[in-house]
Amino acid sequence: MNNVKHEGVLVYIEQRESEIQNVSLELLGKGRELADKLNVKLSAAIIGSDIKNVEILNHYGADNVIVVEDKKFEYYITKTYAKALTSIINTENPEIVLIGATSIGRDIAPRVSARIKTGLTADCTSLDIDEEDNNLLMTRPAFGGNIMATITCSEHRPQMATVRPGVMKKFVKDENRESVIKYHSVDINENDMDVEVLEVVKEEDKKISIEDAKILVSGGRGVGNKENLSVLSELADLLKAEVSGSRAVIDEGLLEKDRQVGQTGKTVRPDVYFACGISGAIQHIAGMEDSDFIIAINKNKEAAIFDVADLGIVCDLNKVIPCLIEEIKSHKL
């Protein structure tokens, strides 16, 4: 470790078209908790070209907000953004850096960690401080999700971790928190601008992302086929819910990959999660166990999904779901 004193927690705030992403607010919640345990400051670092409403970052727990704003940051480009974030870290010298494990976060985090010669633990599901030596304890599934590994980065600073959306809880918003914003400038030269964005073509998607859905109707291998899945979709439409699934149904091509819940899919935390024909493998449970209310329908009463369910229905889903649909329709709920 070099002799520079590293202190404080820094969260990289991801914005897309000036909109601050939820995962960054969730990380501020965890960052606040870690900073309080270490008795240090929590900083939020945001990079972009038209940055708005940054005071919200103070309301969600940050002590300071560091802004890098320039037309050159209009689009996310790995090289320019990695340079800017590296520059912020080298100036602020935090001891912990947290980044959302989004497509952007997964791109920028390893670039930055290599530039500043430190370690990075990806896809952490829990973060804490070791009471003995104040190291960051970074826990994530390992060996195919069969064990949880707690990793430390004791020889280098800062300690860097990425966390997927939906895993951490936001700090309760407090609009009375003081707003402290400082501007940081980064010299972006022609060599850094070797990628030119000609056009941004957005994928047409009218569906709500499963991470944002309040109710999820999730199907597993037990659903069997497309016809049965369409019955799940009918239930979802009636409940204004979204359809998601286990990896088994994604692998069978019944649902798109962005609908997969679990360790290698999305982490979700809806108000209600219907698990229909899902056995409850550890890799699936890792992505949905924090749902507020879990309803499991499975014909095998020994299925592990019942261990995390608030309401368990031991029955053939092809009998239960049509009944549920009829019931909802008859009550015009």
The residues of the shown chain that bind ligand FAD, judged by CB under 6 A, are 144-145, 220-222, 246-248, 260-265, 277-279, 281, 283-284, 287, 297-300, 303, 316-318
Which residue of this chain has its Cβ atom nearest to ligand FAD in the complex? 262
The CA-based angle 212-316-286, given to 5 degrees, is 35
Question: How far apart are CB 290 and ligand FAD at their closest, in Å?
Answer: 15
Amino acid in the structure at residue 224? G
Residue whose CB is less far from ligand FAD, 157 or 247: 247
> Please, which residue, 154 or 300, has the CB nearer to ligand FAD?
300
**Strands ordered across the beta sheet of 311-314:** 242-245, 215-219, 272-276, 293-298, 311-314
Cβ at position 109, least distance to ligand FAD in Å: 20
Tokens of residue 185, six digits: 């400038």
For residues 35 and 297, which CB has a smaller minimum distance to ligand FAD in the complex?
Answer: 297
The minimum distance between CB 184 and ligand FAD, in angstroms, equals 38
How near is the Cβ of 6 to ligand FAD at its closest, in Å? Answer: 34
Query: CB of residue 299 vs ligand FAD: minimum separation in angstroms?
Result: 4
Residue 182, CA distances (Å) to 25, 54, 88, 91 in order: 19, 11, 11, 12
Cis amide bond preceding 158, omega within 30? yes
Shorter beta-carbon distance to ligand FAD: residue 64 or 260: 260
Residue 127's beta-bridge partner residues?
Answer: 138
The residue among 61 and 265 lying less far from ligand FAD, judged by its C-beta, is 265
Number of helices and strands (H, E) in the chain?
9, 17
